[in-house]
Amino acid sequence: MGRIVFAGAMSHVLDPDYYQRACGALGRRTVEECMREIAGMGERFSATKADALIVVADDHLNAFSFNAVPALCVRIGRHVQRMSQDHAEAFDKVLDHMPERYAVHEGLANAILERGVERGFDLALSWEAPVDHAFLSPVNTMHGTRPIPPLVPIWVNCFVAPQPTARRCFAFGQHIAQVVAEGPWTAGIIATGGLSHFPELSLPRVGETDTVFDRRLIHWMETGEHEPLLGLTGDELHKAGEHEFLNWMVLIGAVTPARADVRYFGELPRINMAAVEWRLA
Ligand SMILES: [Fe+2]
């Protein structure tokens, strides 16, 4: 029987040079400290020798477009490519030194997709979409030079209204846990992004964060009180710069009622950086 053997969530712009430019020496120090904790989480994950790593992240309107905006999308196939963009955002330039191709765990990805549709999740699928910093910065920071197990990339629409609800993301996470439990594989799961920040899409608010809101989320994760998280509305998340917390909601659904340990939380004017790991039974 399969099992989730590791669960962690973390910010996904992990580039000291980017934060040096955006927030000066404090920015560099903060992201470096956060990255050290994520690397430690990666060592603990590698020690589990898991068969797969499920990565839940959001599309930054570079894998998909307004042509079609999937609420929840599972990447299937055998390999996934690192995204390459001619006019990459600064934080996607950091991908340049990373491997270009990653194995996909085809069996687990197909099971999440097929049984998800059977159980009422109208999932999108993709054979082609490449992965950007939201997937690869955390994955590579976790692994360093160690081998990366086959991935199951999953996209959540965090940006374009109407997004899936927090409750729906949580239920999808419960579905993922069920699929893992039914299968023969052990898997880690990470969710990336956040915490509070306002990306360029919300230009007037770039440089703000909502630390009070972050601390409420952290409290509920630490105590395993997941009911209040289910009631978070899209409007609340939007106003607090917590859009990417929907990725975290998928993970929380997969591990509920496990409690979280905060490995790192650091405030910057631009974003609150976080690394959180769940205590699994
Ligand atoms: Fe992001």
User: pLDDT for 28-44, tens place per residue?
Assistant: 999 999 999 999 999 99
What would the pLDDT profile of 152-197 be if each residue is shown by its tens digit? 999 999 999 999 999 999 999 999 999 999 999 999 999 999 999 9
Contact 179, 105 (CB under 8 A): no
DSSP sequence for 174-241: HHHHHHHHHSS-EEEEEEE--SSB--GGGGGGTT---HHHHHHHHHHHHHT--HHHHT--HHHHHHTT
Q: What is the mean pLDDT of residues 252-280?
A: 97
**Percentage of the chain exceeding pLDDT 70:** 99
Separation of 145 CA from ligand 1 center, angstroms? 24
**Overall average pLDDT of the 89-103 stretch:** 87
Domains present along the chain, CATH in parentheses: 3-276 (3.40.830.10)
Residue 18: closest CA among 30, 27, 29: 27
Q: Residue 90 — very low, low, confident or very high, per pLDDT cuts 50/70/90? A: confident
pLDDT attached to residue 272 = 95
Q: Is 160 helix (H, G, I), strand (E, B) or coil?
A: coil
Using the mean position of ligand 1's atoms as its centre, give its distance from the Cα of residue 2 in Å: 30
Mean pLDDT within 249-258: 98
In order of 107, 167, 186, 216, 263, the CA distances from 150 in angstroms are: 10, 28, 12, 34, 25
pLDDT score of 237 more than 80: yes
Residue 278 is predicted with a pLDDT of: 98
Give residue 202's pLDDT: 66
Q: Report pLDDT for 206.
A: 81
Alpha carbon of 255 to ligand 1 centroid (Å): 23
**CA–centroid distance, residue 134 to ligand 1 (Å):** 6
pLDDT at residue 201 in the model = 64
- If you measure from the C-alpha of residue 225 to the centroid of ligand 1, how many angstroms do you get, rounded to a whole number? 25
Residue 69 CA to ligand 1 centre (angstroms): 16
Residue 201: how many other CB atoms lie within 10 Å: 12
pLDDT band for position 106 (cuts 50, 70, 90): very high
pTM here is 0.97
pLDDT at 91 over 80: no
Tokens encoding 253: 């659904």
Mean of the per-residue pLDDT values of the chain: 95
Task: Check residue 10 and give its pLDDT.
Answer: 98
Alpha carbon of 49 to ligand 1 centroid (Å):
28
Ligand 1 center from residue 198 Cα (angstroms): 9
Which stretches of 48-147 are DSSP H helices?
Answer: 90-93, 106-118, 133-143
CA of 82 to the centre of ligand 1 (A): 16
* 193 CA to centre of ligand 1 in angstroms: 5
